[in-house]
Structure 1
Amino acid sequence: MAGSERCGPGCQARRAAAWAVSESEPEPEPLGPGAAAAATGSPSGEGPAGRPRRRRVPGEAAARRRERERRKEQEALEKRRRREEAAAAWRLLRLMEVCADPGLLKDPGSDAWVKILSSLDCKYSFEPQAIPCSITWRRNMPNTLSSPDGPMVKTEEEKEVLVLVEPEDFLKRLFSLTQSFVNAPSASQPDLNQVLPLAGLAGSSTKTYSLAVVGLDAYRRCNQEQGRQQALSPGKQRPSSQPGPELSMTQEEILEALVVLQLWGNMEVLFLDTWQEFGQQVSALTKAIAKRPYKRQLESQELPFCAAGAWASGVRVEKDGTGLWQVWKRQIQQFNRVSPATAAAIAEAYPSPSLLLQAYQECSTGDEKRLLLSDIPVKSDISGKDRRVGPDLSHHIYLFMVSTDPDLVLDLGT
């Protein structure tokens, strides 16, 4: 008889079971040594380490996924709302207005700075100011950013005031200041009203004044030349328009008077050669004042130097600890002259600060602690040659990890 006819009922059952396996179903992979031991040694209902297995509730993974998506949508909506509020406030804050005194238009060369002023993206007007020949700034400020009807607007005047002083008038006022300071050296504070009369102005204590002098060097050279010519012709009388003893002030005396103005009166003096430079100075001040609320808003945010996002090199840390290794590597990279490859090599050898501290505790001598990281190899992507961390960086990281002195300088070579 054939082989198939000699098979018993058990053989036919095994053949039917083998034939019932579909060719589309993969065969089970052989278990590894660890898996086989776990499968044979672990009792029913326990994991590989002998811990009880947690039963998964049906639909739990889908619920978690929906919760994560809901949170992401809420965060996206919140970020969008904040961006819209900031953009609305920024549009209002950009509505700067430069208010200039009409006396600034008397000079024939004033057309140069007015041309620069008209090129700015802001309003400007010429109206009488409290101080003649001065410039002030004002803007539209929002009262609130979250009102239902939109941000309410109010006009506020900035604290900066730029005053244009003629060279002759400036030298006279500066000479009077130096004489009063010399004649009364025991006075606690010089009389700054001789330079800029502010005693009768309301709110002058809250303002920041800057003086601009156009053409001072040319004025001094011209008058000194006139003085030399008059000395050669003693019969001629000095013209009434020529300044007197203030021209005898040396450059050192002028600088000393400027220091007094800056320290006692918080006044900055700008020496400009042309009206073109005056216009550029007005333009720079206008842009700086316009950006001030935006910078103030950035500084008020929590940790503004560690902004989120890939563009700011931020690292996202998940609840399960994912991303902490990247944070540790970035922290090492903040040391001076530390490349990303060096930081990665140290972070791979000691994946967390606690492990590095534990390694320091296991060292027996101080030299061993300072040189613990010096022999860690670093792979260079440029040269392809391996190098070491080195003793200097190893010493700096050791001091950073164990020192309790807040004023300690880690890198003496900088």
Structure 2
Amino acid sequence: MSAIWKISDSDTEVDEESKDDLQRDESAKDSGDRNFSPPGHDRPSPAKKRRSKEEIEADRERALQRREAREKKRAAKEREKQEKRKEQQERKEAAQHLNSLKPENYLKRLTVCIDSALLQQGGCDILLGTLSSFEWRYSIQQQRLPNSITWIRDLPQLAEDGAGTVAEDQLVQVLRPSEFLDMVTSVKKMMDNEEEPVVDSVLGPSLDRDGVKAITLLVTESQMDYRRHTLGETIQSKYGGGNLDVEEVLVHLQLHKNISVVFVNGWQDVTDHVCAVTKSLSKRPFKQLTEQSELPFCVDGSWASGVRVEKDGSGLKQVWSKQIQQLNRVSQATASCVTAAYPSPQLLLQAYKASGSEEERKKLLADLAVKGEGKDRRVGPEISTRVYRCLTAQNPELVLD
């Protein structure tokens, strides 16, 4: 007996609902797949554009130019740094050089050289003791000129071979009265062309120097009455001369041999003279450096009545006024009057060229009124002529006054 299944209405409804759910799931899946698909998947990709050879070369050239520009900029910065370091080094060296020229520092490089023969004289210990108390350097060595004192200076160390020394132009020789008399007699005979001075005498090497050094002879133990009377009598007994001959010899030594003679009472005076020369030598370089100026009316700064000229040209009119004041008897008011009428030398030269005759050029500034001196006055023909000569003369030896 076969079984017969009876399908109820409820089961039919369930199957239909399941079928509907399955269809909804498939629809949702399809829509999800479409939503998560990559963009442009269904569109064809555009074709890639190929660059020409000229464009490639142009891009390569531009890249090369950019690289060269960067290299030039880097090299310019490096040069600027090197120049800045060099300028700083030069300023440092200039400051060190200037500092070394100051008297207190320059004195440390000086050495007083004393001839060993002077140690035999009793008063030499006064000189050595004074130099030691000042902590000044000195050395005892044999000199070319006997009984002399010289000065040497250490040079700054500028090379690998080390520092050297240079001799100063001052020389001091200490003589006893008897040695001085022998020297006077020898020089007097030379002046009279009777005979040449003895080379191995006390002053022989000095007379052969031809004024290379400034020599000072210090005659010790010679009072004024001794120099006036005893000295003249001694020369008269030996040579037949007198005090007038001594003065003649002193003048000859001063004028022709650059030798000065100083009579001192003893070694204390010798010490004072040596110390004075040493201090003078220490001050000389710094003083020469501060006093040198090619144009005193146009100095770099506001000191010494100078005028500073800026890069934009401001200050040139003041320099022009200072230049006119360099002429004798030209006041500031007179110079200001000239510069007010002709603000530059070029304008004044053009006015000279426009004048007809020489006399008109000389009198061009004569009628200018000078203000600020209490009364009305003019520049005058004398100052006008001197200004004209100063600006137009071709002879550098011409005297303006």
State the distance in 1 between where 2:386 and 2:211 align.
Answer: 49
- Which residue in the other structure is 1:353 paired with? 345
**Residues 77 and 172 (structure 1 numbering): CA distance in 2 closer, same or farther, change over 3 Å?**
closer
Report if aligned partners of 2:366, 2:379 keep a CA contact under 8 Å in 1: yes
Q: TM-score, normalised by structure 2?
A: 0.62
Q: Number of matched residues?
A: 313
Deviations 1:339-382 (A, max 9, x none): 222211110111111211222233344443322212222222xx
Aligned-pair distance for 1:261?
3.9
- Which residue in the other structure is 1:83 paired with? 95
Deviations 1:185-243 (A, max 9, x none): 4x7x65454342439x9x99976543221326443456479x7xxxxxxxxxxxxxx88
Aligned-pair distance for 1:312?
4.2
State the distance in 2 between where 1:374 and 1:357 align.
Answer: 16
State the secondary structure of the residue aligned to 1:252: helix
- Which residue in the other structure is 1:309 paired with? 301
Report if aligned partners of 1:272, 1:278 keep a CA contact under 8 Å in 2: no
- Which residue in the other structure is 1:398 paired with? 388
CA RMSD of aligned residues (A): 4.2
Report if aligned partners of 2:186, 2:198 keep a CA contact under 8 Å in 1: no
Report if aligned partners of 2:153, 2:166 keep a CA contact under 8 Å in 1: yes
**1:332 and 2:324 correspond:** yes
State the distance in 2 between where 1:269 and 1:121 align.
Answer: 28
State the secondary structure of the residue aligned to 1:409: coil
State the distance in 2 between where 1:93 and 1:208 align.
Answer: 20
- Which residue in the other structure is 1:369 paired with? 361
Report if aligned partners of 1:93, 1:141 keep a CA contact under 8 Å in 2: no
State the secondary structure of the residue aligned to 2:170: strand
- Which residue in the other structure is 2:250 paired with? 258
State the distance in 2 between where 1:98 and 1:249 align.
Answer: 38
**1:410 and 2:391 correspond:** no
State the distance in 2 between where 1:125 and 1:169 align.
Answer: 25
State the secondary structure of the residue aligned to 1:310: coil
Report if aligned partners of 1:374, 1:391 keep a CA contact under 8 Å in 2: yes
State the distance in 1 between where 2:366 and 2:260 align.
Answer: 54
- Which residue in the other structure is 2:219 paired with? 213
Q: Percent identity?
A: 37
Where in structure 2 are there 5+ consecutive unaligned residues? 1-82
- Matched letter for residue 94 of structure 2: R
**Residues 371 and 197 (structure 1 numbering): CA distance in 2 closer, same or farther, change over 3 Å?**
closer
**Residues 177 and 110 (structure 1 numbering): CA distance in 2 closer, same or farther, change over 3 Å?**
same
State which structure, 1 or 2, has the greater radius of gyration over its C-alpha atoms.
2
Report if aligned partners of 1:101, 1:134 keep a CA contact under 8 Å in 2: yes
1:268 to 241, 253, 259: 259
- Matched letter for residue 97 of structure 1: T
State the distance in 1 between where 2:150 and 2:299 align.
Answer: 35
Q: TM-score, normalised by structure 1?
A: 0.60
Deviations 1:224-282 (A, max 9, x none): 79x7xxxxxxxxxxxxxx88823853233223333554566x35132223334433322
**Residues 290 and 391 (structure 1 numbering): CA distance in 2 closer, same or farther, change over 3 Å?**
same
Deviations 1:376-404 (A, max 9, x none): 22222xx5444322222112112222332
Report if aligned partners of 1:177, 1:194 keep a CA contact under 8 Å in 2: no
Aligned-pair distance for 1:72?
11
**Residues 159 and 391 (structure 1 numbering): CA distance in 2 closer, same or farther, change over 3 Å?**
closer
Deviations 1:288-320 (A, max 9, x none): 333455467679x88485541222444343454
- Which residue in the other structure is 2:178 paired with? 168
**Residues 173 and 314 (structure 1 numbering): CA distance in 2 closer, same or farther, change over 3 Å?**
closer
State the distance in 1 between where 2:312 and 2:398 align.
Answer: 35
State the secondary structure of the residue aligned to 1:142: coil
State the secondary structure of the residue aligned to 2:219: strand
State the secondary structure of the residue aligned to 2:112: strand
- Matched letter for residue 82 of structure 1: A
- Matched letter for residue 179 of structure 1: K
**Residues 270 and 118 (structure 1 numbering): CA distance in 2 closer, same or farther, change over 3 Å?**
farther
State the distance in 2 between where 1:218 and 1:103 align.
Answer: 28
- Matched letter for residue 388 of structure 1: R
Question: Any residues of structure 2 matched to 1:133-212 within 5 Å, and which?
Answer: 133-144=147-158, 152-179=162-189, 182=192, 184-185=193-194, 190-191=197-198, 193-198=200-205, 209-212=215-218
State the distance in 2 between where 1:307 and 1:368 align.
Answer: 34
Deviations 1:33-83 (A, max 9, x none): xxxxxxxxxxxxxxxxxxxxxxxxxxxxxxxxxxxxxx9999788545522
**Residues 395 and 93 (structure 1 numbering): CA distance in 2 closer, same or farther, change over 3 Å?**
same
